[in-house]
Chain A
């Protein structure tokens, strides 16, 4: 969200699902949407059936990669190297969209100079991808009349995740694949309302509607509406909060619908910090590991079926969630909990319906203004921005960049000079394997929700290894092994997976109670986004007999 906001001023995907069906070329980069975003992938497949070319960039030959016209299996954490190499190839082949660059972008010269060192040879050496494959993707992307570039956590869950995003935005700017129908940038959100949380200002530097906290005029509007003074400085992101806990400057925490005691990288450290807080309040529908640490637990309601409200999806579509069942006894509506808390703090807030709250939001956030509940109902959701109650905006963002008159173009979109940085943790003789993490189709995050149903597809946590590594380690499919990183160790059965190449191993975070993968992952974070480098740790795998003997 940070990367897109930096370049375009709005932290949302620039395109729409329906446009993916109509585009000429789709790049899925660091996204296993087939498993992680299956219904988005339906739209990709419509596009493919309509004749779009599909390129997939992923260290694993994932389910998504198996659909590709060409899969590029780069080394974990070499995305910027690959992107810069593609950029140089496009520039040198004379395929850059000069007209768009001149009209709509800034900082091109510096960018072009920065990628100059990334010859196909060097890019191939750094990423591991054959030069011919890089060249093919570069030329296909640049010559496609329209192209969609989609990414997920394979791009963002790195210590330099924002730079990774910027490097992909650079490619779209270079070829003019943004601000036009059927061309655009699509970050696929991992959770159902990540986009909505950002839209609503659940970011340390934003007010609802992506209005800047440090913008006095914007703040004044909210001050007036809320009868209160909003702090004028940006707040802390999740990582900074944990840092503050570590320093002792943050001693109380209110956690709503998150489970950091299991979801944080280097999780034993995180648990220690949560335990050392003066006061921890958790509002959740489950008694999560985090809730077990809390001083007070507020049982909430499941927002998607026990309460009314809205969520925003990855194509910026605001949709209604509705109450279908009553929450279990004792659990309460989240708005009611907030109101009660306010009253307990001495503010006599009235009882409000979700529509009341929404209408307040509409009065303060111009991009949501046209979205009445009635219209959301009628249209099956509405994509933002929606400024007026009697019109809809185009399905893509930033068409202004193509405007004829300079004054209509607004702020030019800057190219970003981004530098290739390997993952913080390199593989060493002691920890020779690269561990990367991801999701499986039938499970989700730490399994709190998806653990509730029996799936015929589920086989529990495994450590997936290439056939070659399984052979050289002398381990068989199903054999339980010990996986160790510099931070900790877990045991899990081996699953031999031909989607992996030698040196690369894969685990999920879905079964933390059985196998706590985040004991292995590194908490190196991107200072700009606060996202940790879940995608790259160094590990070794030991047979259990050997491990016991070695200990």
Chain B
């Protein structure tokens, strides 16, 4: 297109970062050195615009290598990809992990979110100079947490968790976190030697970098079984298992697969939602770090069943270990013919691309994820059309959460009917819970659906010494609070729904009585105000008004404010485009209604 490019020129490092993703320009492409035949013929158009889905990876590459994204870098990206600089800027500025202003190569992000706050982590105003506040880093079992990122030819990310006293200041001063074992401490059941675990069966027990080890522990038996029974039978087994989506919406997975399998439009896409950003959630991270092959196998089965030639893992940008783990696993699978043009010699092609998120909670929304992958701002789309009809690149798309997918190999090995025999009438199978806060052994817990909240807290070792239960946040910031009187609530979908609560993404954040609930609510309000994409009025302005009202109420109840908050919450719930706005008032409302917080 007829781009207007300013005089700012990319540095050689910035060009190299872009070229590392999309290759150096051919002599007849924009961005190539002038001379020779490109004075007579230049290629452009769709050949350049067709790689728009590389925009996010390209921006990551520059941000990783240089530490920020300059005008010159944006100009070079614009020329190479035939996207206007304003458009690139609009996309880059959507994501919190990118900076368009010069900054130090080394950045420290301290979690100021719910679990970390509750466990003595810093508030925004407490942060040492040079440390940025961050939403939940997904390390709640080790709260409080911080992430250090250092840009360079090889970007370095290290998680510091739990932060020792004074460690944050040291990190800001240039120190690196001490090495620790992430996985073992995140799965207390594994550490206890619990042999009944299924979804977590391999986590902490097999070498996550070894395909052989995975295969030695039932790995890829399910795919072989799938190929043996054929795609329709796979869908039938998944349907029979009663599996529903674990991302929070609980849509029947089999029905989703069936719908995509039957779509005549081609190609079909498979997207794995690994943008685990719900405050208090860290189960997907644990699976990805500890058992990455299980996700690859599950995706391969899903693709086989639904006719997808390509899979996309949209991975949270703040999960460097999971990224490394998945990259290793994918490389190993490609090397062994488990991904590629002819998977297992069974005559179908499948491969997987990892797209890193860049600091946007909204990109966990199933249609925002498509826009983000496609190189646009991660704004949700209006539904209908639904993804099964028109999803990624406008094609029929299966989108499943990590936890949902890793159920699939087990369902195939055990059979759908047997799987469905687990759990309760309305909640079949097994579930991962992210238990954090004031319990003795926080971590990811796998249970067959059925235990009560009390049981789960018991499983996590009970309350910490000296702690007394004040409240539990179920389902994350988009979920709701329950109180000590709800301990006998069975943690099933039907029971929580009946109680006006939700399991959401499986968050069970246990708060001590001493935790400042008003502070928790203010943080929730601030979180949604930061993470709203800004597209629709109810959410864009409603989250601002909600924060203002909560701030006022925190200083003492003012007349009319509770009613105003209800009005704002109601319009967000009724009229927002997506689930973010629709749930942005849930937790606050539940705290007011169930716990009496902010009440006169």
Direct contact of A and B (CB under 8 A): yes
Chain A residues at the B interface, C-beta cutoff of 8 Å: 34, 48, 53-54, 61, 63-74, 128-130, 132-133, 467, 498, 501-502
Q: In the complex, A101 Cα to B414 Cα: how many Å?
A: 67
How large, as a class, is the contact surface on chain B? 10 to 19
Q: A63-B2, A66-B3 given as contacts; is B41 within 8 A of A71 (CB)?
A: yes
Residues of chain A within 8 A (CB-CB) of B2 are: 34, 63-64, 66-67
Residues of chain A within 8 A (CB-CB) of B47 are: 69
Residues of chain B within 8 A (CB-CB) of A54 are: 45
The smallest C-beta distance from B48 to any residue of chain A, in angstroms, reads: 9
Q: Is B44 an interface residue (CB 8 A)?
A: yes
Q: In the complex, A68 Cα to B39 Cα: how many Å?
A: 14
Q: In the complex, A74 Cα to B40 Cα: how many Å?
A: 7
Q: Is B499 an interface residue (CB 8 A)?
A: no
Q: Is B34 an interface residue (CB 8 A)?
A: yes
B415-455 residues at the A interface, CB under 8 angstroms: none
Between A and B, 30 residue pairs with Cβ closer than 8 Å are A34-B2, A48-B45, A53-B45, A53-B46, A61-B42, A63-B2, A65-B42, A66-B2, A66-B3, A66-B44, A67-B1, A67-B2, A67-B44, A67-B45, A68-B44, A69-B47, A70-B41, A70-B42, A70-B45, A71-B41, A71-B42, A72-B41, A73-B39, A73-B40, A74-B40, A128-B40, A129-B40, A467-B34, A498-B34, A501-B39
Residues of chain B within 8 A (CB-CB) of A34 are: 2
Q: In the complex, A61 Cα to B28 Cα: how many Å?
A: 12
Q: In the complex, A67 Cα to B47 Cα: how many Å?
A: 11
Quick check: A72 and B40 within 8 Å, CB to CB? yes
Name A501's contact: one of B3, B40, B43 (CB within 8 Å). Answer: B40
Given contacts A71-B41, A129-B40, A501-B40, 13 further A-B contacts (CB under 8 A): A61-B42, A64-B2, A67-B1, A68-B45, A70-B41, A70-B43, A71-B42, A71-B43, A71-B44, A72-B40, A72-B41, A133-B40, A467-B34
Chain B residues at the A interface, C-beta cutoff of 8 Å: 1-3, 34, 37, 39-47
Residues of chain B within 8 A (CB-CB) of A467 are: 34
Quick check: A130 and B37 within 8 Å, CB to CB? yes
Residues of chain A within 8 A (CB-CB) of B40 are: 72-74, 128-130, 133, 501
Q: A34-B2, A467-B34, A498-B34 given as contacts; is B41 within 8 A of A69 (CB)?
A: no
Residues of chain A within 8 A (CB-CB) of B43 are: 69-71
Q: In the complex, A130 Cα to B44 Cα: how many Å?
A: 16
Name A500's closest neighbour in chain B (CB-CB). Answer: B39
Q: In the complex, A501 Cα to B44 Cα: how many Å?
A: 18
Residues of chain B within 8 A (CB-CB) of A68 are: 42, 44-45
Q: In the complex, A478 Cα to B39 Cα: how many Å?
A: 23
Quick check: A69 and B45 within 8 Å, CB to CB? yes
Closest 4 CB pairs of A and B: A69-B45, A501-B39, A63-B2, A133-B41
Quick check: A69 and B3 within 8 Å, CB to CB? no
Q: In the complex, which of the residues B2, B3, B39, B41 has the most CB atoms of chain A within 10 Å of its own CB atom?
A: B41
Residues of chain B within 8 A (CB-CB) of A63 are: 2
Q: In the complex, A68 Cα to B3 Cα: how many Å?
A: 13
Q: In the complex, A65 Cα to B41 Cα: how many Å?
A: 10
Residues of chain A within 8 A (CB-CB) of B34 are: 467, 498
Name A65's closest neighbour in chain B (CB-CB). Answer: B42
The smallest C-beta distance from A506 to any residue of chain B, in angstroms, reads: 14
The smallest C-beta distance from A78 to any residue of chain B, in angstroms, reads: 12
The smallest C-beta distance from A56 to any residue of chain B, in angstroms, reads: 9
Q: A69-B46, A467-B34, A498-B34 given as contacts; is B1 within 8 A of A130 (CB)?
A: no
Q: In the complex, A72 Cα to B37 Cα: how many Å?
A: 10
Name A502's closest neighbour in chain B (CB-CB). Answer: B39
Q: In the complex, A129 Cα to B42 Cα: how many Å?
A: 11
The smallest C-beta distance from B51 to any residue of chain A, in angstroms, reads: 14
Residues of chain B within 8 A (CB-CB) of A502 are: 39
Q: In the complex, A435 Cα to B46 Cα: how many Å?
A: 32
Q: In the complex, A61 Cα to B3 Cα: how many Å?
A: 12
Quick check: A73 and B1 within 8 Å, CB to CB? no
Quick check: B39 and A129 within 8 Å, CB to CB? no
Residues of chain B within 8 A (CB-CB) of A61 are: 42
Q: In the complex, A69 Cα to B39 Cα: how many Å?
A: 15
Name B48's closest neighbour in chain A (CB-CB). Answer: A69
Residues of chain B within 8 A (CB-CB) of A69 are: 43-47
Residues of chain A within 8 A (CB-CB) of B41 are: 70-73, 129-130, 132-133
